[in-house]
Structures are given as C-alpha cells and as structure tokens.
C-alpha cells in the first residue's frame, strides 16, 4: 500500500468515521438532553402551562409553610433544598429582603432580578403576582419577617425548555464530537506515522552501520509503500557493497597468490638455468656430452619461461579485456578434424589413441574465434597428455547437438583428479600437485585461459573426473545454423 493511498484512506476514514459517530452521538444525546431540559415534563400531551401549574402548587405549599414560620426562609440550606426540589419541575426559587437579593436560583438572572425587584411594589402584603419575566414566567409573594423586614419570595418557571434542550444538546454534542475527532485523529496519526517512521528508523540504523564500516547487518522491511521500496533498495545496495568488499578482499588475496605463483614459477626455471650456467662456467660440464646436456636443460627451461610469460601475458590481457575476438562462422566438424590432424603424429608417438563421436549434422556451424578456440582445445589436449599414466592411453572427443548450443566433451583415461581438487582446476596457477612440481611442464594457466575464452564465446566450461580413471572437460558453443 503506497503512502499516497494510506494518506487518502486516512482522510476518508477521518471523514466517514466522524459522520457515523456524529449520527450515533446525536441520537444518544437527544435522549439525555431531553431529560435534562425539562421537555420530559411536557411529554404525553403536557403543556408548559401544566409545568407552571405544578410549580404553582409547590409555591402554595412553600407560602403556607412560610406563613407559619417566615424566618425559616432565612435559612440558606432550606432555600437550597426548595431550589433543588423545584429544579425537577424546571423551576427555581429566589428570596429578596428589603429589596436586596438574599438568595438567587441558578435559573434566575441576577441583573434581571434586580430590575424586577425595583419594578414590584413590595409594600403589597400577601398579594399574588404572576407575570412574564423575559422568556421566563414567575410567581412572587410579599410578606414580612417577624423582625418587620419586608421580603418577597420569587418562583421562576422556565417557559422555553426547547432552548435549553438544544443548548444542552449542542453543548454536549460539540464537546464529545471534538473528543472523538481528537481520539480518531490521534489513532490514525499513530498508525500511519508508525508505518513510515519504523522503516525510516531501520534506514537510519543501516546508514549508521555503513558509516562505521559494518556491512554485516540486514534490513528486513516488508511494507509495500515507497518507504518500504527505499528500504529494499538500501538492502540491495548493502548486499552489493558487501559483495564488492568481499570481492575486493578476494581479489587482494588472489593478487597475493598471483604474485607468489609468478615468483615461484619463474624462480624455478631461473634457478635451474643459473645452476647449469654456473656448472658450465666452473668446469663441471667438462666433457662435450655434459656441456650438450647442460645446454639442452637450459634451453628447455628457457622454453618453459617463455611459455609461462606468454600465457601470463595472454591471461592478463584477457582479464583486462585487451584481447580482441574475431568471431566467424565455423564448421565444427571440420575444425575438430583439423585439430586431430595437428596432434595425430604426436599422440601416436606417445601411444595415445584418439576417437571422435558426432551426434549432429555435418554442416553444423558455431560462432567462434578460430584461433582462440584452437587454444582452448590445445590446452585441454596438453593437459590430457601431461597427466596420461596408462600404456593404452586414449582421448575421445564427443560432440552433441544441444538445441541452441553445441556441447563438446574431451575425455581421457589418464590419472584423473581427486574430487576435492576438481572445482579448482580452472583457477589460475592451480595445480592439484600441492608441491607445484613443474616437471610435467605447463604454467598452471591453461584451463584458466580456456575458461576465459569460452566465457567470451557466451558458453560455459566444466569438468568431470574420477581419480585413477580419467577426466572429461566439457564446454558449450553457440550454434548459428548450417552452411546449407
């Protein structure tokens, strides 16, 4: 869910929820306000006159009580009890002594009551008065206390309970509605903000970790909004940085191994050449036969160094993408037959037979750089020759049509490779012989170069081997049709 959709949804909820809440709240408050406003006293056909009539009856009872003991009205608690009782019928009491307000009900307005007191003729004794007081009706009775002080008892009747009903209703509605709005808004704000703030905190943590050089952490964010997308992109960046760092460390390790390997493979023939030259110089080779033997060894070691340097140069240039490839259409069967012709005599002299098995049309064409492909096959042949330990040695080349590609396998029945070494044979300078004995020749770069060349052709190369029985090297080439 996107942030835009979340905000839109929260706005809709903030509109819809208050509307439904307002309807329910309004219905509830109508009943509550109805009871508090005094309208309940007017239901079932009762009029406001009926309310006034009930108040009048209470008024008569209070007057009769006061006539027997007028000083009782000076008791504030007594007046409060009367006022509380009258409140149930939407009325209130006030008491004035010598034109001064002694007690006033909450239902009366003090300023208006003072004006009313001034208008009344308080010299009248025991006379009823029933007049209009703004929007209220009132009853009053004038009499004297035992001290002779003139006093007036007022009873106010609210004749507009509808006004109070709506005042109470809207007062309560506004109060509770605002409370609901605040609560709903708070809950939605927390929910929406947490869905944004929580992943942002994860991002902040990740940035701090990277700043401190630590890439071994993980940001696992599953939210589907834009912040979640940023978190996932950040996690992908972290993985790539970690991979780059690991690759850099690997390259550094390989570089150190590379330098050590070059040093070892160059030092070995140089040491041999140096020793034999010293032997000639010091007169150790004191016969023509010994001199010829020493010179032959020096020559072979020089050839080994030349081959190593050539392979090293090619491998380095290929790694740096400085070796151009000239691809063309190559008839695979003709190419293989030509390679066999080149090695036929050498293999016969070594007692190694060679066979071919074709499972594709004679005119099948592949996309290849002929010279580079020859180097691949040559390197594989030379590996098979170097590690051949059988009297009846054999090399078999099988070619299979593999839909859009052609699969070439070169098998031998030599000494084979142990399983723990098999995955490393395409690594530069790797030799299964841990002593790195170069007596069999080779730079240790042959299969590494073959891997580079096949990958530039868009194919892959791999090996299968059983120790003591032989090895098979497989590689793929892209098929582009036939010559017709």
Q: Residue 455 sits in a domain of what CATH number?
A: 3.30.565.10
The two tokens of residue 428 are 């530069």
Same domain, 58 and 144: yes
**Rounded CA gap, 117 and 98, in Å?**
10
Smallest CA-to-CA distance from 106 within 61, 156, 168 is with 156
Report yes or no on 213 lying in a domain: no
**Rounded CA gap, 58 and 445, in Å?**
120
Same domain, 265 and 152: no
Helices (H) and strands (E) in the chain, counts: 11, 12
The reported pTM is 0.47
| pLDDT in the model for residue 334 | 92
**Rounded CA gap, 174 and 33, in Å?**
13
Same domain, 342 and 254: no
Same domain, 395 and 255: no
In three-state secondary structure terms, 406 is strand
**Rounded CA gap, 105 and 166, in Å?**
21
Range of the domain at 352: 324-482
Report yes or no on 210 lying in a domain: no
Q: Which residues pair with 463 in a beta bridge?
A: 473
What is Dmax (Cα atoms) for the chain? 168
**Rounded CA gap, 484 and 482, in Å?**
5
Same domain, 148 and 94: yes
Same domain, 192 and 138: no
Same domain, 250 and 334: no
CB 311 within 8 A of CB 445: yes
| pLDDT in the model for residue 54 | 65
Tell me the Cα Rg of the chain. Answer: 55
**Rounded CA gap, 359 and 152, in Å?**
129
| pLDDT in the model for residue 355 | 92
**Rounded CA gap, 153 and 63, in Å?**
8
Same domain, 338 and 473: yes
Q: Which residues pair with 409 in a beta bridge?
A: 398, 474
- Domain at 83, CATH number: 3.30.450
Residues lower than pLDDT 70 in the chain: 1-10, 14, 25-26, 29-55, 120-137, 158-169, 192-195, 222, 224-225, 254, 257-258, 261, 318, 320, 428-444, 481-484
| pLDDT in the model for residue 429 | 63
Same domain, 373 and 421: yes
pLDDT (tens digit, 9 = 90+) per residue, 112-171?
888 888 876 544 433 444 444 444 467 788 888 888 888 888 888 765 555 555 666 677
Same domain, 142 and 64: yes
Last residue of a domain, one of 317, 351, 385: 317
Same domain, 292 and 397: no
Report yes or no on 218 lying in a domain: no
**Rounded CA gap, 203 and 205, in Å?**
5
| pLDDT in the model for residue 55 | 65
Report yes or no on 220 lying in a domain: no
- Per the structure, the count of domains in the chain is 4
Report yes or no on 72 lying in a domain: yes
Q: Which residues contact 69 (CB under 8 A, 6 or more apart)?
A: none
**Rounded CA gap, 374 and 339, in Å?**
7
**Rounded CA gap, 237 and 245, in Å?**
12
Report yes or no on 346 lying in a domain: yes
Report yes or no on 296 lying in a domain: yes
**Does the CA dihedral 448-449-452-453 come out positive or negative?**
negative
Per the document, the length of the chain is: 484
Last residue of a domain, one of 317, 344, 363: 317
Same domain, 32 and 172: yes
User: Cα dist. 40→25, 89, 156, 165, 177 in Å?
Assistant: 20, 9, 18, 10, 24
CB 420 within 8 A of CB 433: no
Report yes or no on 211 lying in a domain: no
């Amino acid at each position: 869910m996107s942030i835009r959709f979340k905000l839109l949804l929260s706005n809709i909820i903030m509109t819809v929820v208050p509307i439904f809440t307002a309807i329910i709240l309004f219905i509830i408050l109508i009943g509550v306000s109805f009871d508090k406003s005094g309208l309940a006293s007017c239901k079932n056909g009762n009029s406001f006159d009926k309310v006034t009539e009930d108040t009048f009856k209470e008024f008569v009872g209070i007057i009769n009580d006061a006539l027997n003991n007028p000083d009782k009205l000076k008791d504030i608690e007594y007046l409060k009890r009367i006022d509380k009782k009258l409140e149930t019928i939407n009325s209130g009491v006030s008491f004035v002594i010598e034109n001064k307000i002694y007690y006033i009900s909450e239902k009366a307005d003090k300023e208006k009551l003072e004006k009313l007191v001034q208008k009344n003729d308080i010299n009248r004794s025991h006379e009823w008065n029933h007049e209009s007081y703004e929007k209220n009706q009132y009853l009053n009775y004038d009499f004297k206390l035992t001290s002779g002080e003139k006093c007036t008892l007022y009873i106010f009747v609210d004749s507009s309970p509808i006004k109070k009903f709506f005042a109470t209703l809207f007062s309560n509605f506004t109060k509770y509605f605002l409370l609901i709005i605040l609560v709903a808004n708070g809950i939605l704000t927390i929910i929406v903000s947490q869905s944004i703030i929580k992943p942002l905190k994860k991002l902040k943590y990740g940035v701090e970790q990277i700043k401190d050089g630590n890439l071994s952490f993980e940001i696992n964010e599953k939210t589907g909004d834009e912040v979640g997308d940023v978190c996932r992109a950040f996690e992908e960046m972290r993985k790539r940085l970690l991979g780059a760092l690991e690759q850099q460390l690997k390259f550094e390790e390989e570089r150190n191994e590379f330098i050590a390997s070059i040093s070892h493979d160059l030092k070995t023939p140089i040491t041999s050449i140096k020793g034999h030259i010293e032997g000639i110089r010091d007169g150790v080779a004191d016969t023509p036969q010994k001199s010829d033997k020493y010179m032959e060894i020096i020559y072979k070691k020089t050839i080994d160094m030349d081959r190593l340097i050539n392979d090293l140069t090619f491998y380095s240039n290929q790694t740096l993408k400085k070796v151009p490839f000239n691809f063309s259409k190559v008839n695979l069967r003709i190419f293989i037959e030509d390679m066999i012709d080149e090695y036929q005599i050498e293999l016969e002299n070594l007692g190694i037979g060679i066979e071919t098995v074709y499972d594709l049309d004679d005119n099948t064409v592949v996309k290849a750089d002929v010279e580079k492909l020859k180097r691949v096959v040559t390197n594989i042949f030379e590996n098979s020759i170097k590690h051949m330990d059988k009297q009846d040695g054999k090399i078999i080349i099988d070619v299979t049509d593999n839909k859009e590609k052609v699969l070439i396998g070169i098998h031998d029945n030599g000494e084979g490779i142990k399983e723990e070494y098999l995955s490393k044979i395409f690594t530069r300078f790797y030799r299964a012989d841990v002593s790195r004995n170069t007596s069999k020749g080779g730079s240790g770069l042959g299969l590494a170069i073959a891997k580079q060349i096949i990958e530039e052709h868009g194919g892959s190369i791999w090996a299968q081997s059983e120790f003591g029985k032989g090895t098979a090297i497989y590689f793929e080439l892209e098929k582009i049709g036939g010559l017709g």
